[in-house]
Amino acid sequence: MAPQYKLTYFDVGGTAEVSRYLFSYGGIEFEDVRIKRENWAQLKDKTPFGALPTLEHNGKVVGQSVAIARYLAKKVKLVGDDDWENLEIDAIVDTINDIRLKVFPIFMEKDEAKKKALIETLKNDTFGFYLPRLEAEVQKNKGYLVLGRLTWADFYFTTLSPMFDLITGEDVLASYPNLKGVKEKVNALPVIKKWIEIRPKSHA
Amino acid sequence: MEGACIKRTRKSINIFNTTEEMAPAYKLTYFPVEALAEPIRFLFSYGGIEFEDFRFDRENWPQMKPNMPFGQVPVLEHNGKVAHQSIAMARYAAKKAKLVGNDEWEDLEIDAIVDTVNDLRQKIALYHYEADAAVKESRKEPLFKETLPYYLQRLDAVVKANNGHLALGKLTWADLYFVAILKYLNSMCGGNDILADYPNLTALKNTVLELPAIKTWLEKRPNSDM
């Protein structure tokens, strides 16, 4: 029988990896569709709003990586116990996403000098602002980002943080041991370790 | 309600005008504008949930900023805790106001629309807030000729296919979210009505603005341009 879920994205981790982690964590079978960049132009207008990832289930298709991850987090029970706790998780996820939104456009910058300048600003203003604050959250939360326990916020951070190293060419979390600890803890979960071993060997 | 009755002077409007001196359970803090806090105000109003609508003076922002969780507003105070991130807070208010789905997939459908509207907002903001005049000018045509139509045509089609709503064929917080930030989107687009060519979205706007609880809120809220 075909898996009940089909996740479509490019052949990278990017914003879909958190969902692949969540499927794996919950032991939920999914079709892990990876499209080639050269085919994107034809496929784009077939998606709800011209973007990936998309999730197909029971004949319906939705987009939006964070929304999909939140749905899966509920399925695999990596959520809060009440509305306020889920607000706290959502807020940290959105904050990490804010960092991603500052990182992502720099990959597109073609002018090398401009790109270098943007990376410096990213390191000083974005990482320099957000990472110490997130580091403090993990210290307050016994080694996790929120609620003092494992939630999908930790998965979200772990799967997006490779992007920080990719754009800077540095080990960005080297000076943030607690954040590094979150990433190591998540990637050491047996089901996640297994996923990392079997997933296609593409970069972050 | 937990805690002592708190008497305090307020520079804000107590929407429900209680005779008791108890502070509302929620305090929302933001600039004196609609923008990203307005969806939360709409949702609390729709749900009949009392909230303190605190709008600080802009010149106080530099002192307040370091005290905010991640240096940003809006923030929401409740039971001694402070939350941040406007969409996360709107989702919370939507749950309290019962404008959510009946199951996880339905909530995913709503979330996906809200995030899409937010994507559009960010693309508009990338144009509006650009400090370099030449760069800003270069972004204008792609925004108005490609990006806005791309999103609005699809959103208009969604509303047509969903019985006049943005998700699930019925009123959800996606509808209130979209209509609440409309003035902000329009102001960033130079004050035009970006829905002028989109009849289904225009009808949705009117539907939401005419909800009794929203009408009441519109009459009471302070004026602002964005």
- What type of residue sits at position B94? A
pLDDT range class, residue A40, cuts 50, 70, 90: very high
Region for residue A147 given its phi and psi (left: phi exceeds 0; alpha: psi -120 to 50; beta: otherwise): left
Mark yes or no for CB contact B111/A86 under 8 Å: no
pLDDT at B17 (0 to 100)? 55
**Dihedral sign, CA of B128, B130, B134, B138?**
negative
**In this complex, do A87 and B111 lie within 8 Å of one another by their Cβ atoms?**
no
CB A154 within 8 A of CB A144: yes
Match 């997006």 to its residue by tokens. A160
B-interface mutation test, from A64, A82, A89, most B Cβ less than 10 A away: A64
Q: Do A90 and B87 touch (CB under 8 A)?
A: yes
Q: Do B92 and A86 touch (CB under 8 A)?
A: yes
Measured CA to CA, the distance from residue B211 to residue B176 in angstroms comes to 10
Class of domain A5-76+190-198: alpha beta
Output the CA–CA distances (angstroms, integers) from residue B166 to A67, A95, B177, B207, in the order listed: 16, 26, 10, 12
pLDDT of A138-173, one tens digit each?
999 999 999 999 999 999 999 999 999 999 999 999
Rounded CA separation A88/A91 (Å): 5
Rounded CA gap, B2 and B25, in Å?
Answer: 9
Distance separating alpha carbons of residues B55 and B33, to the nearest angstrom: 8
Residue B141, judged by CB atoms within 10 A of its CB (0-12, 13-18, 19+), counts as exposed
pLDDT per residue rounded down to tens, chain B (226 residues):
444 444 444 455 656 655 556 789 999 999 999 999 999 999 999 999 999 999 999 999 999 999 999 999 999 999 999 999 999 999 999 999 999 999 999 999 999 999 999 999 999 999 999 999 999 999 999 999 999 999 999 999 999 999 999 999 999 999 999 999 999 999 999 998 999 999 999 999 999 999 999 999 999 999 999 9
Asked whether the beta carbons of residue A57 and residue B105 sit closer than 8 angstroms, the reply is yes
Cβ atoms within 10 A of the Cβ of B109, count? 22
∠ CA B223-A91-B88, rounded to 5°: 50
Residue B3 confidence (pLDDT): 43
- In angstroms, what separates the C-alpha of A101 from chain B's closest C-alpha? 10
A83-188 CATH choice from 1.20.1050.10, 3.30.300.30, 3.40.718.10, 3.40.640.10:
1.20.1050.10
> Residue for token digits 């979960």?
A189
DSSP secondary structure string for all residues of B26-81:
EEEEE-SSSGGGHHHHHHHHHTT--EEEEE--GGGHHHHGGGSTTS-S-EEEETTE
Contact between residue B175 and residue B181 where contact means Cβ atoms under 8 Å apart: no
Region of residue A50 (phi > 0: left; psi between -120 and 50: alpha; otherwise: beta): left
Helical packing angle, B173-180 and B199-209, nearest 10° = 100
Gap between the Cα atoms of B186 and B193, Å rounded: 6
Contact B112/A84, CB-based, under 8 Å? no
- Count of A–B CB contacts within 8 Å? 81
B132–chain A nearest CA distance, Å:
15
Residue-wise pLDDT for A5-39, tens only, equals 999 999 999 999 999 999 999 999 999 999 999 99
| Spatial CB neighbours of A56, under 8 Å, sequence gap ≥ 6 | A5, A6, A7, A8
Is there a contact between B109 and A49 if contact means CB atoms under 8 Å apart?
no
For residue B98, the chain A residue with the least C-alpha distance is A83
Domain ranges across chain A: 5-76+190-198, 83-188
pLDDT in the model for residue B21? 61
Q: Quick one: which of B166, B200, B191, B168 has its CA closest to B39?
A: B166
Residue A5's nearest CA partner among A67, A64, A55 is A55
In total, chain B counts a number of residues equal to 226
Interchain CB distance below 8 Å, B87 and A51: no
Amino acid letter for position B59: E
Q: In angstroms, rounded to a whole number, what is the distance separating the alpha carbons of residues B94 and B101?
A: 10
- Tens of pLDDT, residues A62-112: 999 999 999 999 999 999 999 999 999 999 999 999 999 999 999 999 999
Q: B204: which residues sit within 8 A by CB, 6+ positions away? A: B159, B164, B165, B166, B175, B178, B179
The answer to whether A167 touches A103, Cβ cutoff 8 Å, is: yes
- pLDDT tens sequence across A171-199: 999 999 999 999 999 999 999 999 999 99
Pinpoint the alpha helices (H) of chain B. 38-46, 61-64, 86-96, 104-128, 133-141, 148-161, 173-180, 182-188, 199-209, 212-220
Question: Are the CB atoms for A144 and A156 separated by under 8 Å?
Answer: no
Q: Which residues, in sequence order, are CB contacts of B212 under 8 Å at separation 6+? A: none
Q: Which residues of B touch A91 (CB under 8 A)?
A: 69, 83-85, 88-89
Residue B23: per-residue pLDDT: 83
Side-chain half-sphere exposure of A41, counting CA atoms within 13 A: 1
Numbered residues of chain A with Cβ closer than 8 Å to any chain B Cβ: 48-51, 55, 57-58, 60, 62-64, 66-68, 70-71, 74-75, 83-84, 86-88, 90-91, 93-95, 101, 129-130, 133
Joined tokens for residue B51: 């909230």
